[in-house]
Chains A and B, each alone.
Chain A
Amino acid sequence: MKRRLYILLILILLILMPGLARAQKVCAVLSSGIKPYVEAMDGFKKAFKGPVEEMVLGDNPAFAGEVADKVRNSPCPVVVALGSNALKFLKLRVTEKPIVFAMTLSPAVEGLSGRDITGVFLEPSARAALAAIKKVVPAASRIGALYSRTSRGDYLDEARRAAAGLGLEIVAEQAATVGEVVRQAASIMTRCDVLLMIPDSVTSSQGAFEAIFAASLKGNVPVFAISQKYVSEGALAALATDYKDNGVQAAEIAQRIVSGAAASSIPYEPARKAGIVLNLKAAKRMGITISPQVIAEAVEVYR
């Protein structure tokens, strides 16, 4: 009789422990209150088994100080950073807890290896991007790309590997500044069928896009942009990340960490769910006919 009781207790403890572990709260810091972060937050909350304490960073530096204190004093085993501002903020102010980031482009996490930081990129994989290009512009073979030191080297490598499998050729040029982008844009247009914008602080910045866009008009070469923002501004197409799924991905990583895994052991993940965004006007301008099926599948179409 007593033995059974003890076994039961142990069993209960064993059962509860994960639960206890599971029941643990996490803190989440949002860069701002804009919709994408809210969506990601929702996704996270749905996927994560446990309470989440949300905090929004905003603009006020004074408030930023409060947030830092709150996080440090909280018993949460993990801190979630949604957005690059949040990441930048947390990596400076919170050093003793593991951080899980999401909704951040890869350039923002350069130089973070060795830290207890892991997460999900905002951008989808290079392979996904290339596959999308193939769908939108099946005739394309040469894919141009401008890169600077701010982009991850892995991205282009991955792109090259994926390109080979898709029958595409990557033509990459380096541009250190936006000014160089302006100068390079015209020449690269002559050597590719589609220009792919890669996650890069310089070559995918607003100014760079404007230069690239102007060159693309001149050279009649479509631009596959890094975000739907540029598609709305005239790029032919882009892959738009599903923000909610981004949150879910983050929740899964957070869950593992809460369950005992070390953050530094978990590799960064690209966004796994993204949809194609199209600008039909840009297509028409370029003389590109996009297959109706692709148009039908697109998550957003600008006419």
Chain B
Amino acid sequence: MKIKSLANRILLMVTFVVVVLTGLFVVYFAFHSRNSLERYQRDSGLSLAQSLAHSSALGMIAEEPSLLDQPFAIATSDPEILYTVAYDSSGKILKQFSRIAIDLSVESQQIEAPLNAAGPYFGGTIKAAGISIDEFYSPIQYQQEEELSETLLQGKGGELKSFKTVGFIRIGISRSRIGAAVRTAMLVSAMIGVLVLAIGVFLSFYISRLITRSLKELESGARRVSQGDLDVSLDISTDDEVGAVARAFNAMAGALKETTVSKDYVENIVGSMNEAMVVLDADRRIISLNNAAEFLLGYKTMELSGTLVDAVFPHEGDHPLAASRWSLLFAAGSLSNVTAELRTKDGRLIPVNLSAAQILDRGGKSHGLVCIARDMREVNALLSQLRAHAEDLERYQGVLFSMLDDNEKARLEIESERQKTLTAVNSMSDGLCMFGPDGRVILMNPAARGMLGIPEDAVPDAMDFRKMLGDAFAQMQSSRPGERPKLMQDITLGGTSLRTIRVEGIPLERGAELLGFMIVLRDITRQRRLDEAKYELIANVSHELRTPLAIISNVISNAIVGVAGPVPDKLMNGLSICQANAKRLGHIIDSLLDIAIIDAGRVGLQRENTDVAAIVQEKASLFGDKARTKGLAFTTKLGEGPYTAYCDRKAISDVVSNLILNAIRFTPSGGSIEVGIMRHGSQLEVSVTDTGIGIPSEEHASIFDHFHQLGRTYGPGEKGLGLGLAISRKIVEQHGGSIGLRSAVGKGSRFYFIIPASEEGSGNEKNNTGEEHYG
């Protein structure tokens, strides 16, 4: 029977082997067990007989069966020991023990063997009471008396050199145990054998299947590869030979695939490349064209296949592709970037850039040539364009350089101008600061630094200015275009000595855009001091003049009144003239003082956010009575608020008082006076309108000047210096405002002044923290 399958063959072989081995094993095991059991039986029988003989010696000698009780009991403790007998030297039973019914007496011929034996021996197997019994004999020996000293000198375990047999022991041991044991052994070994057989068969089955499975996989894999499916990968990962074969197979498939991939890859490249590729064989005949070549030449590969390359590359003479130079080309191996011409199907010649390389095999033999030709038409056209451009560029470059030169000159000029300006600014004695619209300091000249006490290397901060200039700065920053006031104030700076600095600020605007601020600082301390001194002098002088004047007035007055007696008329006239002139002298002295005051700028402002309407109300109520007493109607008119202005409360009050008082003076009884305040955008207008005598228009301009007589009188109770309109004008102008009037003779007058209002909530009255409200 031919068994085809490898698996089955393996299975069969292995099974056969296993069966044979198992059988051998079973047999061996059975025999071995039996033998060892037999041996065990024999040995135990012998040793038992001997030890029993030994321990029976005494009893035998003494002929005392009771002495044999214990040895017998010990010996027969094992139920397999069927009987034990001790015979004396004549064969008479001294003691016996038996578990079965058996006649244990012996014949005289039977006692010879045991009595003459040197030691215990197996006496054969008998059958009694239906049981197989192994019999063992052992002589009971006793040492002879005479050689006691020899025995003693021998020491422990001395041999019984000469002894006497005084009897023998007979033991019968049942064989049933052996039989049973042997049978058990055989059964066990049979079972083990079967088990081993089963395992063996199973394993062989498994292994054979394993091998064949692997083989099947290999087979199917190989078949698939041969059919072109190169994506094969065997899933065998064992570490053995099968696994190795599988891995090798996978590697092979992988390599094949790569080759195919490479091949496809190359084909793709060749097919899609822009350059024309022509493959020639060793005889200069065209083998193939790629797509680009076909397109360029207008031929198909089929048409040119087999034709000499000259058809397409018509070169002669020294050109590398000329027929005569062919062998040289092969020897050289390759061409690179050679200019050549291609002839197309329709006879055109196309300029190309040619490179070629030999196709070599492993051994170095040439099989042909690969030529790559790049169409140079476009390139050539580009090149000529580029050349033209390059010329233009050169020209432009010339122009550019001259422009740069001019720029440089201009820059240098600007730079020198800048330097001049900078020098001028830096050497000014007045301080100059420029701020950006955000209040950041752009420029601060040394003079300004000196005045403000900001060291040269310190970066000045708008904060410093705010601190020094206060809300005025904020005002300047925050007001709207077109309405931005000019800042002018005098600030006193501490330091080593007090200085007065006049700060003039101008917003820099371009249209509606605020570019920043410029501030000029002038140290007017000296000027101030001069003014102060001047004022002091004049004030003192005028006061000094007053005292003698007062005395002279008194005398004249007294005379006129008649204190010294009646006065002749002629004298009275003269006295009147004297009195009038004395009064005039007094006025001149007063004016002198006023001038001094005005010139000295004594009217220094202490500004704060003030409610101007409140001032107006206050003065109105103050002078209202006076007006009414005089018989004048007195009203106040308040327009739309708010009326907060950053101003000197006292000064503005004085201005208002001045205007109201003037109105009262120059309005005859029956007339009316109206005091009003209005807000126009970011400005406040306070006006006092009366129905008085009016002021001629030619005096409108000069009315606010010094010395203009308004007929001021000093009445009782009037204290204070008495402000003139000149001083009022000064005050208003110092607030950045203006003063004016509208009047005609007989039609009454309207005096008004305008000062800038502060923003709602701006200034440092409302907020305690410095920063937020600016800007």
Contact = CB atoms under 8 A, between A and B. Distances in A.
**Complex contact flag A–B (Cβ < 8 Å):** yes
Interface of A: 31-32, 34, 36-37, 59, 83-85, 88, 103-105, 107-108, 122, 150, 177-180, 182-183, 201-202, 204-207, 210-211, 226-229, 232-233
B152 interface: yes
B148 A207 contact: no
Given A34-B154, A229-B156, A179 B149 contact: no
Contact of A226 (B143, B145, B152): B152
B66 to A, nearest CB: 11
A108 B149 contact: yes
A179 B145 contact: no
What are the 8 closest A-B residue pairs judged by CB atoms, nearest first?
A179-B62, A227-B152, A105-B149, A201-B145, A182-B62, A84-B149, A36-B153, A201-B148
A179 B146 CA distance: 16
B63 A179 contact: yes
Residue of A37, A84, A88, A107 contacting most chain B CB atoms (<10 Å) = A84
A201 B57 CA distance: 17
21 contacts: A34-B153, A36-B153, A37-B153, A59-B161, A85-B150, A88-B146, A104-B149, A105-B148, A108-B149, A179-B61, A179-B63, A180-B62, A182-B61, A183-B62, A183-B64, A205-B143, A206-B143, A207-B57, A207-B61, A207-B142, A229-B151
A179 B167 CA distance: 15
A211 to B, nearest CB: 6
Interface string B135-165: 0000000110111111111111010010000
Contact of B64 (A32, A182, A206, A229): A182
A298 B358 CA distance: 116
A84 B58 contact: no
Nearest to B57: A207
Interface in B619-665: none
Nearest to A206: B143
B37 interface: no
B60 to A, nearest CB: 9
For this complex, into which size category does the number of interface residues on chain B fall? 20 to 34
A177 B166 CA distance: 14
Interface of B: 57-58, 61-64, 67, 142-143, 145-156, 158, 161
B127 to A, nearest CB: 38
Contacts of B150: 31-32, 83-85
A146 to B, nearest CB: 14
Contact of A205 (B62, B63, B148): B148
B745 to A, nearest CB: 167
B58 A210 contact: yes
A111 to B, nearest CB: 12
Contacts of B58: 178, 182, 207, 210-211
Nearest to A31: B150
A198 to B, nearest CB: 12
Nearest to B148: A201
Nearest to A211: B58
Nearest to A122: B149
A149 to B, nearest CB: 11
Given A205-B143, A233-B156, 17 more contacts: A83-B149, A83-B153, A84-B148, A84-B149, A84-B150, A177-B61, A178-B142, A182-B61, A182-B64, A182-B67, A183-B64, A207-B58, A207-B61, A207-B142, A211-B58, A229-B152, A229-B156
Contacts of A178: 58, 61-62, 142
Residue of B151, B158, B161 contacting most chain A CB atoms (<10 Å) = B151
A146 B155 CA distance: 22
A59 B57 CA distance: 25
Nearest to A183: B62
B64 A105 contact: no
B152 A108 contact: no
Nearest to A202: B145
Contacts of B57: 207
Given A182-B64, A207-B57, A103 B143 contact: no
A239 B64 CA distance: 33
Residue of B146, B158, B161 contacting most chain A CB atoms (<10 Å) = B146
Contacts of A204: 148
Nearest to B161: A59
Given A229-B155, A233-B156, A103 B149 contact: yes
A240 to B, nearest CB: 10
Nearest to B152: A227
Nearest to A243: B153
Nearest to B142: A207
A178 B152 CA distance: 17
A206 B156 contact: no
Nearest to B156: A232
Contacts of B154: 34, 229
B152 A105 contact: yes
B185 to A, nearest CB: 42
A108 B150 CA distance: 11
Contact of A179 (B64, B143, B147, B153): B64
Given A179-B64, A207-B57, A201 B146 contact: yes
Contacts of B155: 228-229, 232
A281 to B, nearest CB: 15
Residue of B58, B146, B150, B153 contacting most chain A CB atoms (<10 Å) = B153
Contacts of B148: 84, 105, 107, 201, 204-205
A34 B145 CA distance: 20
B94 to A, nearest CB: 12
Contacts of B161: 59
Contacts of B158: 229
A177 B64 CA distance: 13
A202 B146 CA distance: 9
Contacts of B142: 178, 207
